[in-house]
Every structure is written in C-alpha cells, then in structure tokens.
C-alpha cells in the first residue's frame, strides 16, 4: 500500500495513525508490480528506482534518454507535491497560503495541472511499445490510458512507490481500521457500529449533523462523510440541497468502470518460490487494456505475510474491470452463472500465463461484482 512510509508529506496513512498515537508494523514490498504484457514484455517495478530504470532500459535500450527524461519529469512534480503539506489541490484558500510558503513548487504544479501523462511521454518517447507500457502504468493509477491520466496524479504514484515504497501492514489491510479505531477510542472518541445514517441534517445550507435509521440525531461542528460521493450527494442529501459545485461535477464526470473481484485460497505449491506479490496481466493485445475483462490485476498478500493463510496455502485476490451495463436486467440465476463464467475465463488466463495447474489447486473461491 501507498502512504505507509516514515518520510515526506505523502505518507497519509502514517500521518493519520500518528495523529491518534498509533503505528503499524509493515513489510516492505520489493516489487510494486510485475507486468506481464503483449509481445512477451515482462517488467518488474522494483522498489529501488535505479533498479527499475535499469530493467526498463534493458527492454527498450534505444529509448534510454526518453525513459530517463519522462520519469525525471515525474520526479520534478512529485518533489513539488512532497514539499507541501498535502491537504487539497482544489481548495483556493489552502492553495493561496501554500503559495506564499512554496511559490516555486506551487507554480510547478500549476503548470502541470492541465497536462496529461501521455502527452508528456510523447515529448521524449517514440517507441509504440514503450508508450503502451506507460499506458499500462497509468491504467493502474486511473483505469484509463496515459493520455487521459493527469500528469500530477501519475507522478505521485509513479514516484512514491520508490520514495516511500509499497508497504504491507502485518496482519492485513484490516489492521489499519482496527488501529485507527483503537487510537480514536484511546483519545476519548466513540465509534458507533451498525449505526445506519439515512440523512445529513442541514441548517441554512450547512451540514450540522446526521440522522440515523432508528431516529437518533447527532450534531457536530463538522460533518465528514466517508460514504461514496454518489451515496453522500445522491442519498444522504436531497437533490434540492446539492451544492452548485457538485451539480457541475455530476454534469461533467465520466463513469469509472466497475470491478469483478475473485477471492481464492490455493495450495502453495502452485506458485513458484520467487513469485511477486502484485501482478498485472494483459497477454495478447494492447487494444484490450481498457476493455472490460481485458486487464487482470492480481494480489497475493501471503507472499509477504504468510500468517494470513494456513501453512501450505496462499490467498489470491484477482480483479478486472467490468461494465455495469453487462449485468443489468439479468435474473439472479443468470447473474450468478455469468459471474462464474467470467471468473472461469480469468482464472484460465492466469493459469496459462503465470501459474500452470492453478485450477486444480483451488480450495476456496468467491466471486463478487463491485459496482
């Protein structure tokens, strides 16, 4: 996971836990992701930046200069971001205050704000295969190609994986919520579980509290919603109370894809000893990168933390983009059958590309559609 380092200003999980006196033990991931791409292109994103650049240059030696220039430009943006106390790049008052503290860094970010990663990559790189690789890099960040990915967003991820690194919390990602809850409790806060919020209470257009499904009301100086944007503004607020900024956003936004998620438990011997934790597979055709079910994301947390599964076993979390339109109007029976069919195809691809014998090693499988 990003955000767990002990340096810089972009380690937001570390900062959030520290604010309530908590810290988690983490395991450094030596490889952010292992790409398995068309034309047998295999690239590991090493934790050490120089190792990554060396590997990428070995695949595209004729583009060495372009590779270094593109990723150096990413670092220029990242270093500007990392010098700021990161809160919001959309809040004018905050940005105004930051400008007087760090004018050069703010001007750098302002320059790159309207630019996308694909256009900048094309300033330095001509090889279509390498540009497609950068598309895949950006797809992991944004689920769109480099020409549609803001350069600032891409730079933050493409550099922080080397600066702060990817770190996995011992015991699984659920430990983050547990630790945060413990810290809040230790500081006198109270967390109500199974307390379903049905609406946000407004007073003269300002959020002042929440109403629960059992009728209880809670009031506060500040109301923070961790529900999705759509639930917050589509369900918890009435349509007539939508802020103008949200109305404008909803007119302009483009839907992100849904995800099909497969959780599996497998016998450990199906994975080679040097298997990486994270993989991205797009075996045959670059044009399938953004298509539903075209790209496969795979995480194997037990590679880093074997305590998460019984001895001799691994946990696999496989997910791929989907389109909600593919699932609309199906009966429950057809919906379940289609989930199994798509999952079977995805697993077959992984068996062919990465892990021979994968199907026969499966001991547990659960398929879910995440809208």
pLDDT tens string 38-53: 999 999 999 999 999 9
**pLDDT at 309 > cutoff 90:** yes
Q: Which residue has the higher pLDDT, 125 or 371?
A: 125
Whole-angstrom distance, CA of residue 238 vs CA of residue 242: 7
Q: What are the C-alpha distances in Å from 236 to residues 185, 194, 233, 245?
A: 26, 17, 6, 17
Beta-bridge partner residues of 281: 36, 296
How confident is residue 77, by pLDDT bands cut at 50, 70 and 90? very high
Instruction: Round to whole Å and give the CA distance between 201 and 238.
Output: 10
257: DSSP letter = P
Q: So what's the pLDDT on residue 100?
A: 77
Q: Which residues contact 358 (CB under 8 A, 6 or more apart)?
A: 266, 270, 347, 350, 351
Q: Is the pLDDT of residue 3 over 80?
A: no
- Closest among 11, 33, 2, 61 to 296, alpha carbons compared: 33
pLDDT of residue 139: 97
Q: pLDDT value at position 348? A: 98
The domain spans of the chain are 30-165, 192-252, 258-370
> Is residue 8 predicted with pLDDT exceeding 90?
no
Query: Could you tell me which CATH class the domain 258-370 is placed in?
Result: alpha beta
Please report which confidence band the pLDDT of residue 67 belongs to, taking 50, 70 and 90 as the band edges. Answer: very high
pLDDT at residue 56 greater than cutoff 90: yes
Label residue 95 by pLDDT band (50, 70, 90): low
pLDDT of residue 370: 81
**133 in Cβ contact with 121 (< 8 Å):** no
pLDDT tens across 119-166, in order?
999 999 999 999 999 999 999 999 999 999 999 999 999 999 999 899
pLDDT single digits (tens) 353-370: 999 999 999 999 999 998
For the segment 219-241, the average pLDDT, to the nearest whole number, is 89
pLDDT-derived band of residue 203, with 50, 70 and 90 as boundaries? very high
Give residues with Cβ within 8 angstroms of 94, minimum separation 6.
87, 88
Q: Average pLDDT, stretch 315-321?
A: 97
Nearest C-alpha neighbor of 127 from the set 200, 22, 56: 56
What mean pLDDT is predicted for residues 27-45? 97
Please give, one letter per residue, the 3-state secondary structure of 12-43.
Answer: HHHHHHHHCCCCCCEEECCEEEEEEECCCEEE
- Residues contacting 194, CB < 8 A, separation 6+: none
* pLDDT at site 97: 77
Give the residue, 111 or 7, on which the prediction is more confident.
111
Contacts of 126 by beta carbon, 8 Å cutoff, 6+ apart: 63, 66
Return mean pLDDT, the chain: 93
Compute the radius of gyration of the chain from its Cα atoms: 23
Residue 23: pLDDT over 80: yes
If you search the block for the tokens 């001509």, which residue do you land on? Answer: 126
């Amino acid at each position: 996971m990003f955000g767990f380092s002990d340096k810089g200003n972009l380690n937001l999980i570390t900062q959030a836990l520290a604010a309530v006196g908590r810290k988690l033990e983490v395991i450094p991931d030596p490889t952010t992701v292992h790409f398995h791409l068309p034309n047998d292109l295999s690239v590991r994103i090493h934790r050490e930046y120089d190792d990554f650049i060396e590997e990428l240059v070995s695949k595209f030696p004729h583009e060495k200069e372009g590779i270094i220039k593109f990723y150096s430009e990413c670092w220029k943006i990242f270093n500007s971001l990392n010098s700021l106390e990161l809160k919001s790049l959309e809040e004018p008052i905050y940005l105004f205050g930051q400008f007087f503290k760090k004018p050069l860094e703010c001007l750098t970010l302002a320059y790159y704000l309207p630019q996308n990663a694909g256009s900048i990559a094309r300033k330095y790189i001509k090889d279509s295969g390498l540009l497609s690789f950068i598309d895949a890099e950006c797809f992991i960040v944004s689920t769109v190609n480099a020409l549609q990915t803001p350069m600032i967003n891409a730079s933050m991820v493409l550099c922080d994986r080397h600066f702060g690194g990817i770190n996995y919390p011992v015991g699984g990602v659920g430990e983050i919520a547990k630790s945060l809850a413990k810290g809040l409790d230790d500081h006198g806060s109270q967390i109500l579980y199974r307390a379903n919020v049905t609406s946000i209470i407004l007073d003269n257009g300002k959020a002042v509290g929440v109403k629960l499904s059992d009728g209880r009301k809670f009031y506060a100086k500040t109301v923070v919603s961790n529900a999705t944007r759509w639930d917050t503004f589509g369900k918890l607020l009435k349509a007539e109370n939508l802020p103008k900024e949200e109305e404008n956003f909803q007119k302009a936004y483009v839907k992100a894809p849904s995800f099909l998620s497969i959780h599996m438990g497998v016998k450990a011997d199906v994975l080679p000893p040097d298997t990486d934790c994270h993989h991205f597979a797009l075996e045959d055709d670059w044009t399938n990168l953004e298509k539903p079910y075209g790209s496969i994301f795979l995480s194997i947390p037990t590679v880093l933390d074997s305590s998460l599964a019984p001895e001799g076993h691994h946990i696999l979390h496989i997910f791929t983009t989907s389109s909600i339109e593919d699932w609309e109007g199906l009966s429950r029976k057809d919906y379940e059958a289609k989930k199994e069919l798509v999952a079977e195809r995805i697993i077959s691809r992984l068996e062919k590309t990465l892990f021979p014998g994968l199907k026969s090693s499966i001991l547990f499988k659960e398929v879910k559609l995440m809208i």
